[in-house]
């Protein structure tokens, strides 16, 4: 027989061991099963700046996330910020998310990050603005050269209507943009310029006998305050400006504010905006902006997440084959644009193209038909 004190101690030790074993077992069991439970898939969409334009993309991202039952994260820097975009992408690569869609402000700088993600098995697509030299799997967004070209055709038509296109006249055109590296900005400006130069050569009223003076491009780095200041200084130096082009969403509104502040009557300068948002509609309604090129950015967010999800579920090749017409030769899904003004217009450009401009009401019905809530676009 053990002495009483020793047997008591032994009993306590045995109880302690049993308690530790039970608690440990429960913890191990809980840990094991929590590791086994499939985590929610995470998809990340990286935009370019804070603006109602991007809020519409975000709405598409969230809707797709909801429908698929996955986590769809949307992130933008406050203004153009290449470093912040890429460090954010890098941290999501480290978290091993299921897919990334990025609108690279600088496609060259983004390329190694895109390769890094792909090497780790994370599919990457571009939206809104492309990085075609990278290995991105597809681009989902506006065909920006064509969109800029259409903007140029309409600007020319409006200049004709106002009597600015006359033999020997000078037409001053200024372009205000938020990036000199992002491809969407460069392509839009190139398309716009080519359209105007083509029209000036082909227009039977002048047959090239006109002087087109190009001002800018002025770069505000997606900063609306800087955009306004630049627009004001251009108008101060060139009060006889003929055409103002707002390349990014907030550029048109910045021109409109500057025109108002400079005391230039609405409609005198032909202001062409990009996008239909709560920021872009008032300048149209007030008559400062005469037309805008509406992108379908809701679908960049919505289909962006859906395409990445399908890549997880079906495999990259299968998902791309289903979604991108002409894949693998073609890796671009053009979300399309609409030309919008306060009134419906139809005309044939000097280049021979037939152009239709939708009124705001027509555009609102179109948005409804497409399943985009018009209030998201500033159309109540």
Query: Interface with ligand BGC by CB under 6 A: which residues?
Result: 48-49, 51, 53, 103, 128-129, 178, 184, 222, 248-250, 274-275
Least Å distance, CB 197 to ligand BGC, is 23
State which residue, 131 or 320, has the beta carbon closest to ligand BGC: 131
Least Å distance, CB 48 to ligand BGC, is 4
* Residue 5 CB coordination number (10 Å): 8
Q: With contact defined as beta carbons under 8 Å apart, do 187 and 148 qualify?
A: yes
Least Å distance, CB 340 to ligand BGC, is 14
Q: Which of 45, 54, 60, 91 is nearest to 222 (CA)?
A: 54
What's the N-to-C CA distance of the chain in angstroms? 91
State which residue, 106 or 203, has the beta carbon closest to ligand BGC: 106
- Report the chain's C-alpha Rg in angstroms: 28
Instruction: State which residue has the least CB distance to ligand BGC.
Output: 249
Least Å distance, CB 254 to ligand BGC, is 10
State which residue, 248 or 302, has the beta carbon closest to ligand BGC: 248
State which residue, 73 or 206, has the beta carbon closest to ligand BGC: 73
State which residue, 248 or 323, has the beta carbon closest to ligand BGC: 248
Angstrom distance (rounded) from CA 209 to CA 168: 5
Least Å distance, CB 241 to ligand BGC, is 21
The sign one gets for the Cα dihedral 314, 315, 318, 321 is positive
Least Å distance, CB 54 to ligand BGC, is 6
State which residue, 99 or 178, has the beta carbon closest to ligand BGC: 178
State which residue, 46 or 319, has the beta carbon closest to ligand BGC: 46
Least Å distance, CB 182 to ligand BGC, is 6
């Amino acid at each position: 027989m053990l002495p009483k004190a020793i047997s008591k101690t032994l009993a306590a030790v045995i109880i302690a061991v049993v308690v530790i074993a039970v608690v440990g077992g429960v913890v191990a069991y809980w840990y094991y099963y929590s590791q086994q439970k499939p985590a929610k898939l995470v998809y990340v969409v990286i935009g370019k700046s804070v603006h109602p334009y991007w809020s519409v993309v975000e709405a598409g991202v969230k809707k797709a996330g909801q429908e698929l039952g996955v986590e769809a994260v949307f992130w933008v820097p406050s203004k153009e910020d290449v470093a912040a975009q890429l460090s954010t992408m890098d941290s999501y690569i480290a978290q091993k998310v299921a897919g990334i869609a990025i609108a690279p402000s600088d496609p060259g700088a983004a390329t190694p990050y895109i390769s890094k993600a792909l090497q780790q098995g994370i599919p990457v697509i571009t939206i809104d603005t492309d990085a075609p030299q990278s290995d991105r799997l597809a681009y989902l967004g506006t065909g920006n050269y064509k969109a800029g070209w259409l903007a140029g055709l309409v600007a020319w038509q409006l200049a004709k209507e106002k009597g600015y296109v006359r033999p020997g006249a000078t037409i001053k055109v200024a372009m205000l943009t938020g990036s000199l590296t992002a491809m969407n900005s460069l392509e839009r400006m190139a398309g716009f310029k080519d359209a105007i130069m083509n029209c000036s050569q082909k227009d039977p009223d002048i047959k090239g006998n006109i002087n087109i003076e190009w001002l800018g491009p002025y770069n505000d780095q997606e900063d609306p305050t800087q955009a306004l200041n630049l627009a004001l200084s251009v108008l101060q130096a060139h009060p006889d400006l003929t055409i103002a082009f707002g390349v990014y969403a907030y550029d048109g509104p910045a021109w409109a504010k500057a025109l108002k502040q400079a005391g230039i009557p609405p409609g005198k300068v032909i202001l062409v905006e990009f996008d239909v948002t709560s920021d872009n509609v008032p300048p149209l309604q007030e008559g400062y902006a005469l037309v805008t090129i509406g992108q379908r950015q809701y679908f960049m967010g919505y289909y962006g997440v859906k395409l990445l999800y399908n890549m997880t579920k079906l495999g990259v090749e299968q998902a791309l084959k289903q979604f991108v017409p002409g894949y693998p030769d073609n890796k671009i899904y053009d979300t399309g644009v609409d030309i919008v003004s306060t009134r419906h217009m139809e005309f044939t450009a000097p280049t021979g193209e037939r152009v239709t401009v939708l009124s705001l009401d027509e555009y609102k019905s179109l948005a409804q038909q497409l399943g985009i809530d018009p209030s998201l676009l500033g159309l109540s």
